[in-house]
Amino acid sequence: MRFDPTKEKALEDLITQRDEEYYKFLKDKQELINECEDLKSKCDARIANINSERSLLRREIDELYNFLIKFGDIGDKISIFEYTFEDFINIPHFNTIQKKSKNPQIKHAGFFDYYLYGVGAIVKHFQNRKTFLEEKENFEKEKLSWTGELLSIEAYKLFLEDASKIAELYFKTLIVIKELIYYTIIPELEGVQSFLYAQAAKDIIISNEAITVLTPSKISRFKGSKKYNKHYTFIKNAHDYYCLITEFFKTPVFTNLLSKFETNSLDFDKDFEEFQKSIKPIEDLKEKLLDNSVFSNKTLAINKKKTKTKK
């Protein structure tokens, strides 16, 4: 913007432009804050769902634990399930209004300023020129400050969008784990346990011994068996699955994400990829469990049919 040596228009235009950009900055800032608050509410709601589901999942996992420890040579290698709750996301304080500098007073030349060869007018024009240069420099600094503040809020918005993606995937994984334990693993373990008791009773009958206290056969006895190896494989996979999900639930995903964001060490693509890698073994083992289940397939099919009917 070029200074007009005969008028105060350059300074007036600068003031007008600064006012316009300042109020645009306030509008853009508030819109971003509103978007952040909306995203945070949705993300926190999903985190609450996750914490609730994880708490309810304890019943299924405790039941799985109690079954596994009965299978001796496999179950004695597991530890009691434990996990940490996810923290809710805190939103930074973006509501502080950043004020612009006070508009300068323009020196207008009056009738008497042009008297005596216009000395007064010349002085005021030079004063306005000095003010213009100072205000232009201040304005550039203010614009940088406003842009920086908007970028910081935009970065937080992107973080919330990324966190929401992980939250959705996390929640879906939780539901898959819960349904697999409830509809496939537990029924299958009950079936295998009955099978082991039946085998123990069969051994006693064949040996013509009196049945007093019936102790189920060891599952390792059927490892490699052409007819019953599926039972052994299922129990082994169930043990591995328990170990995987126990380790999975020990890591506070969102708490770690927020900590990385606050320390400027967050790389979402990398973190999202790592999260996907952490659930990949759980997904793969699910397929193995389904492939080696004998007693629970019918239960799972009935449940899927009921779910479709409800929809």
Tell me which residue of 91, 37, 45 sits closest to 261, measured CA to CA: 91
Q: Once rounded to an integer, what is the mean pLDDT over residues 13-37?
A: 87
Where b means 16+ CB within 10 Å and e means fewer, 116-138 reads eeeebbeebbeebbebbeebeee
Confidence band, pLDDT 50/70/90 cuts, at residue 143: confident
Residue 202 lies in a domain: yes
Residue 87 lies in a domain: no
Residue 92 lies in a domain: no
Arithmetic mean of pLDDT over the chain: 76
Q: Give the pLDDT score at 113.
A: 42
Residue 16 lies in a domain: yes
Q: Give the pLDDT score at 249.
A: 81
Q: Which residue has the higher pLDDT, 3 or 129?
A: 129
Residue 88 lies in a domain: no
Confidence band, pLDDT 50/70/90 cuts, at residue 101: low
Most confident segment among 69-78, 138-147, 165-174: 165-174
Give 66: exposed, middle or buried? Use CB within 10 Å, 0-12, 13-18, 19+. Answer: exposed
Instruction: Give the chain's largest Cα–Cα span.
Output: 136
With a cut of 80, say whether residue 167 has pLDDT above it: yes
Domain that holds residue 162: 9-80+105-310
Residue 165 lies in a domain: yes
Entry pTM: 0.73
Residue 86 lies in a domain: no
Count of structural domains, the chain: 1
Residue 154 lies in a domain: yes
Helix or strand run (H / E) with residue 9: helix 9-68
Q: Give the pLDDT score at 79.
A: 53
Give me 151's structure tokens: 């970028």
Tell me which residue of 35, 153, 16, 170 sits closest to 98, measured CA to CA: 153
With a cut of 60, say whether residue 92 has pLDDT above it: yes
